[in-house]
Amino acid sequence: MILSNLSHRQKLRTLDTDLSVYKASNNGRIDVLENFKAGLEGSGDGSIADLQAKHEQQATLITTLETNATTLQSRIDTFNAGLEDGADGTVSTIEQIQLNKVGLAQELVDRGSEITRVEGLVSTEAGARASADTGLGGRIDQEILDRQGAINTEAQ
């Protein structure tokens, strides 16, 4: 409140009084602001330096995450490429499994046929031997008797 009729000295006193009243009413606010300012200027939790350090740590972590995500994506792409249809000329994993399944089924059929063929040959051989043993008066038995007879004749 400045009064034009007052002398400079009185004006200064009035201003000093007004300033004292202002300071008294705002000291609490000033203290809070000073404390806040001191906290920001220090190096403790919540200070600007602390916040900057945390920001830098987070930036480093984000870079690491981005690198890991890129590596993971590359691995996923490689895995997917192995599962895909093989349009690039290579046999995919799924195609290879299917080929193995078809090949295994054919192998089972082929082995079954071969087993049946071999069993037939064994059966034929067994029949031929049995026939040779007993057929025509036992050809083998007769052969044995004939040889023994020849040996006996020779011995005489």
Give the pLDDT of residue 33. 74
Q: Sign (positive/negative) of CA torsion 136, 138, 140, 141? A: negative
Average the pLDDT over 23-52 and give the result. Answer: 74
Give the pLDDT of residue 94. 72
Q: Per-residue pLDDT for 98 more than 70?
A: yes
